[in-house]
Structure 1
Amino acid sequence: MAGQETGERIGALLDELARQAGPEARDVADELVRCLVEFYGEGLARTVRLLRSAPKGADPLAVLTADELVSDLLILHDLHPEDTATRVGRALDKVRPYLGSHAGDVEVAGLDMEAADGPTLRLRLRGSCDGCPSSTQTVRWTIEEAVARIAPEVAHIEVEGMAAESPQPALLQILPHRPDDAPGEAAPSGEPGEAARWYELGPRSLPADDGATGVTEVSGRALLLVRLPGQLYAYRDRCPLCAAGLAPAVLDGELLRCADCDAAFDVRRAGRGDRGHLDPVPLLEENGSVRVALPGELLGAGP
């Protein structure tokens, strides 16, 4: 159908909707059409910018698929050069260094593209979390976010040995912002499956050098960031033993020692200590961008 014919058809459908459902429904539909036009317009604009600025001899498809929005559009229209299984593998490769801090790994147990409720990914965690609920949930949220970014058509993720599965948003939902960018209905604080909200951190809030720490505020909550060689870690800024803030804590190699009670916690191993356990915060670092998730129980917790 030609562009002019498509436009005329859309106008006719909007008029028919107004006749059947009234002017308020027509206003909502008009806004929906505007959002769709803006969404696809941004996708086209990015495609043009990316191809114009691509290095000489670069593979055009590789350039386009490296951009999240354009990649999602290619997936939506079944034009992406990589299949779902390949992109799931890339997503898991991105989070494996993070999972290592929880003494674990993840492997694909199955991918059912014909499942009744939508494509379902089954994962198996190996040796993760040592039974720590906060660490287990942190691992799960991190995996789900990584997969949603690279393989958004995956509707559900099931993880062997974990209590509840959080459904992934349907492919794009045809929104100008990803579904996980908007707050949703969360379960009561602390219940399994409660949603996490992801936030991007500005470069000024990040410790730049290995062995450096820093405290930053995200949505009113103080987070401790620790940079070790090869990995950035995030924890709630609170000692589990004395409840003191960890800004003045001393980093001795990979051990973080509370300045108030002298308790030590292993930064690389999800904040484990002999007498307590720091609260880990999901973190993804890629392409110069750092994002952290604030689970509902942390959003509702005290300072």
Structure 2
Amino acid sequence: MDASPREQDGTAPDEQRWRAAGDRIETLLEASSAGGTVARERAEQLVREVVELYGAGLARVVDLLDTGTLELLARDDLVASLLLVHGLHPHEVDVRVRAALDSVRPYLGSHGGDVTLVGIVDGVVRLELTGSCRSCPSSSVTLELAVEDAVRAAAPEIEAIEVVAAQPEPAEPIAPESLFSRVRSNDRAPGSWVAVPELAELGPGEVGGFTVAGLTVLACRVGEQLFAYRDHCPACAHSLAGAALHRRAGAPVGDAVLRCPVCRAHYDVVRAGARIDGDGHLEPLPVLVRSGELSVAVPVGVPG
């Protein structure tokens, strides 16, 4: 299935337009520079005046709202971003960061991992990552996308995110700080989120193929949870098209094994795609609900 979801939902184009408003404003300011320094300064002043005007109006609206209504408004991404810009959000930064971490905790749990907020000092958020998929570098990319994107969306005013080392575990874990450094050390952007509402059509136990931003993705549903992986078997380098989910004999409910239709290699879908019968690892991609839409994070630079 080819995913061009923004055009399928009547509200999605508007949502996408407002999300890109900052970029459009910056582009217009850059264009004004062609008229010289004075023209640029006047354009910037105009933007400031408009922002302050609407900010003052928004502050008066907030003063008239009861706590319950303000809480409801703060749950909307666009309204929340406006409240944050004008310092009117009802929640302090630590509350927002904790809520953001809670939103991605189910995804981290599917990788056998977890995240803890150590503290926020001088605009720096310090986290401790534990567990997670230990043997696959690509998993560190997806974990960064999920955690950092959620935290920065909830608290855009933070200066940086730091990861402190957890206590060593018997499984020889990847150092937690590497989860945030691997992508940057490769000199590439971590990736982008693409809305794929078609994922919601998958029923329990079903597997489907989707084209997301040019990348072929294999998605499957285990119970209420959705999992997405790059359509590539590391054992035989073939597509996983036609693969089905199986439950191992004697395994508890929720066990899900994906078998490559070409080489018969078996992968644990729930535990980050780790191979069960040998070495290798599927490449997991985060699946989260963003702005009310199921979205998949696709790393930049990964060939489709």
Structure 2, unaligned runs of 5 or more: 1-32, 60-64, 165-175, 248-255
Q: Equivalent residue for 2:198?
A: 204
Partners of 1:207 and 1:214 within 8 A in 2: no
Q: Does 1:23 align with 2:35?
A: yes
Other-structure match for 1:70: 79
Structure 1 runs of 4+ with >4 Å offset: 24-47
Could you tell me how far apart the structure 1 residues matched to 2:235 and 2:53 are? 53
Q: CA RMSD in A?
A: 3.4
Write out aligned runs for 1:128-147 (5 A).
128-147=132-151
Instruction: Quote the sequence identity (%).
Output: 38
Counterpart residue number, 2:7: none
Secondary structure class of the residue paired with 1:159: strand
Q: Choose the corresponding residue for 1:294, options 292, 298, 302.
A: 298
Q: What secondary structure sits across from 2:209 in the alignment?
A: strand
Q: Contact 2:141/2:179 (CA < 8 Å) preserved in 1? A: no
Cα distance change of structure 1 residues 79 and 288 upon mapping to structure 2, 3 Å threshold: closer
Quote the offset at 1:203 in angstroms. 2.0
RCO higher in 1 or 2 (8 Å CA, sep ≥ 6)? 2
Match of 1:259 among 258, 261, 278: 261
Who is 2:178 aligned against? 163
CA distance in 2, matches of 1:222, 1:285: 20
Matches of 2:55 and 2:225, distance apart in 1: 32
SS of the equivalent of 2:134 reads: helix
Which residue of 148, 155, 169 corresponds with 1:151?
155
1:233-248 alignment, distance < 5 Å: 233-248=227-242
Separation in 2, partners of 1:242, 1:91: 38
Match of 2:223 among 225, 229, 235: 229
How far did residue 74 of structure 1 move? 1.4
**TM-score under structure 1 length normalisation:** 0.70
* 1:120 aligned onto 2:100: no
8 Å Cα contact 2:118-2:127 kept in structure 1? yes
What TM-score, normalized by structure 2, do the two folds share?
A: 0.70
- 1:291 to partner: Cα distance: 1.8
Asked if 1 retains the 8 angstrom alpha-carbon contact of 2:140 and 2:180, the reply is: no
Q: What displacement does 1:110 show? A: 1.8
- 1:201-231 CA-to-partner distances (Å, cap 9, x unmatched) read 2323544311112111122111111111121
Q: In 2, Cα distance between the equivalents of 1:46 and 1:153? A: 19
- Consecutive unaligned residues of structure 1, counting only runs of 5 or more, are 1-20, 48-53, 167-185
Q: Which amino acid aligns with 1:245?
A: S
- Cα offset, 1:102, TM superposition: 1.0
Give the CA deviation at 1:232: 1.1
